[in-house]
Amino acid sequence: MLFRDRRTILVSMVLPAILMPILIFGSNRVSEMSEQAIASDSCVVILTGNAPDSVMESVGRAISAPGAAPVSLVGMDSPDRGMLDSDTVQAIVSARVHRKPVPEVVVHYREDLDRSRLAAGLVLDRLYTLRDSVRLEILAGRGAVLMHDSSFVEIRDIASPEALYGYEVGTMAMLFAMIFLLSGVSVAALDSIAGERERGSLETLLASGISRSAVAGSKLAAACTVGLVSVLVQTGSFLIIERTGLLGDVFPGRITGSAVTYLPMLLQVLPSALFAGSMVLYASASSATFRQAQLKFLPLLVAGVVPTLAPLFPGLEGRGLITAVPVAGLSLCLRDTLAGRPDLPWTLAAAGSTLAASALISRAVVNAISREDILSPAADPVPCPALLARKAFLYSGIVWAVSVISSIQLERVADGRTVLLVNQLLILLLPALYAALRFGLPGTGALRLRLPRPTPLLVAIPCAAAGLILTTGLYELVSTVLPTGGRAVQSFGDAMLPGSVSMTELLLLYCILPGIVEEFVFRGVLMGSLGLRKGWGPAGAILASAVVFGMFHFLYFRIIPTAFIGVMVGIAVVRSGSLLTGMIWHASSNALALLAAHPSLGMDFLVNPATVPAAAYPAAFAAVFLGLLLMKPPLRRD
């Protein structure tokens, strides 16, 4: 009966089998055409600066050297960087001599323009080649013996092309398999219980002589079958295109396999299908309506996809304790299998852990169907602040996952400003506004949207400065336990202080906007709703919202210091009775940290532990403590 449902067959099997090859071919073709168009275009590069003529000539020869992409070099005394905005010029190279005898070469370009980004990369590669040749000349002039015709270090990759290609495909194979499984399973499972319950046909089925365990088992088997067939259809489509070359040279290699390698692959896909089917079926069984089941599918999709990302983490192999993690161990074993290194014992161990997790979820499905109150529950709970308080952590986790995924994807195609705006406005602010309106959070109550006394507003800025000093000290303590690599700190600094952005824009984007949006989200909606939980009170809400606030600042060395700032700001909001106090504190803290990053302003003592005197920490603590004491809520409370 399931396969007589034409919608199930069309959505979960036929459409993906047709669309996947078209999307792969189209994506590869568009990328090739884009690269060819950009590479065939001549890049215009301006060379300017006060370096000696010999240096300018060497730099000019290096930039305009023959290569894959032609470069048109133009000399100019004082070029206008606005030419980069119109894309008439792709890069501006400045070679200047300051106090040091070595000239400083700076490449200006636009990261958000394809031709400018390509030209900058091309110029940098050629300048690095020039730098290496100059170094060799200096070493040779100092008497160093250089070996130009031979090398005493040689690297040889003995991995076969098939193994390398299988490793690359296997890294993402379980991710796509899980997506196909969940999409196929969702078509059958979400409707099989929640949909039938809504139509009234489920009660008729349960009223028959069939046991409820048998009903649950049959629906689980049907859902897993659809998901498994969907994966097999996609895999077959992939292999046919790869082996026959129907769409041309789409894939860079071939996967070699035999019965010895396909058996572990089968052992990896079957438990994953059962895991996906049991998860989605439980979402359907525990939902009163089909709409509720659909809303639960998004967190289930995240929960199913996250373990499949294990092959992306360096150092993880399909052996050892990782095989005890459901799906994650199978993902690593599948990668090794496609790379030609199947390990049947560890594959069995990984399959066993996934089957055990699937059995637990399947048992919950049987229990859900077996209970009468689950089959005919009361009406949907009315949205209210108390309901939001119960689901606050679930919603925060979903938003966090979306924020992480979107940031990773957007960083590849957009600059830091675009990523920041998308995260702040679309991913944080919109869901928070919807939650506040949907669940009816009181504006002057939980959200604290009211004017405070003048004192908290005046005290917030000096408290932010003192709190920043305390945060700097805490960061120094954290770094002794969690060392922060120089590259991570430098990358964060580059993202925070892009050279082409004016100070006004930096203050708006990195200080005022986060101060308003993040305070409304974390100290307004989240802390306000958590404060309604029974037994939590203001202290529990402040601490919990601060931890979530820290987790949203993804870099590990920022989580604890940021959570500490969240605690201070949360206390200020509760003490003053106004969210505006937190917004001013937050924006001031970001602004002071931003200004302290400029050495010329002489404010680096706020963020540099090496320049903070020991006596500053107790003084800063006293200032924050006194400032929080001075903050009192307004006399009139709504």
Helices (H), 249-289: 259-285
- The rounded mean pLDDT for the chain is 77
pLDDT at 638: 43
CA distances from 100 to 30, 94, 104, 499, 598 (A): 47, 16, 9, 22, 21
Q: 1 pLDDT band (50/70/90 cuts)?
A: very low
- What tens digit of pLDDT does each residue of 243-256 get? 665 555 544 555 55
| Most confident option among 26-40, 137-151, 226-240, 532-546 | 532-546
Q: Judge whether 112 and 415 are in contact, CB under 8 Å.
A: yes
Residues 129-144 have a mean pLDDT of 79
pLDDT at 84: 82
Other CB atoms within 10 A of residue 5 CB? 15
The torsion defined by the Cα of 185, 190, 195 and 196, in degrees rounded to 10, comes to 60
Q: Judge whether 546 and 420 are in contact, CB under 8 Å.
A: no
Higher pLDDT, 187 or 617: 617
Q: Judge whether 310 and 335 are in contact, CB under 8 Å.
A: no
pLDDT at 547 over 80: yes
Q: How far apart are CA 190 and CA 226, in angstroms?
A: 12
87: left (phi over 0), alpha (psi -120 to 50) or beta: left
pLDDT at 525 over 90: yes
Q: 259 pLDDT band (50/70/90 cuts)?
A: very low
Higher pLDDT, 581 or 442: 581
Helices (H), 371-496: 372-375, 385-413, 416-421, 430-438, 454-481, 486-496
pLDDT at 377: 47
pLDDT at 3: 46
User: For the ranges 186-195, 232-241, 275-284, which has the lowest average pLDDT?
Assistant: 232-241
pLDDT at 9 over 60: no
pLDDT at 172 over 70: yes
pLDDT at 588: 94
pLDDT at 604 over 80: no
User: For the ranges 135-139, 196-200, 269-273, 374-378, which has the lowest average pLDDT?
Assistant: 374-378
CA distances from 279 to 224, 357, 487 (A): 11, 10, 40
pLDDT at 531: 87
pLDDT at 144 over 80: no
Q: Token pair 């060379």 is at which residue?
A: 47
3-class secondary structure, 44? strand
Q: 11 pLDDT band (50/70/90 cuts)?
A: low
Helices (H), 82-193: 82-85, 114-141, 161-190
52 contact partners, CB below 8 Å, separation of at least 6: 97, 103
Q: 461 pLDDT band (50/70/90 cuts)?
A: very high
Q: Judge whether 250 and 241 are in contact, CB under 8 Å.
A: yes
Q: 63 pLDDT band (50/70/90 cuts)?
A: confident
pLDDT at 87: 73
The pTM of this model reads: 0.47
Q: What percent of the chain has pLDDT over 70?
A: 71
pLDDT at 354 over 60: yes
pLDDT at 532 over 80: yes
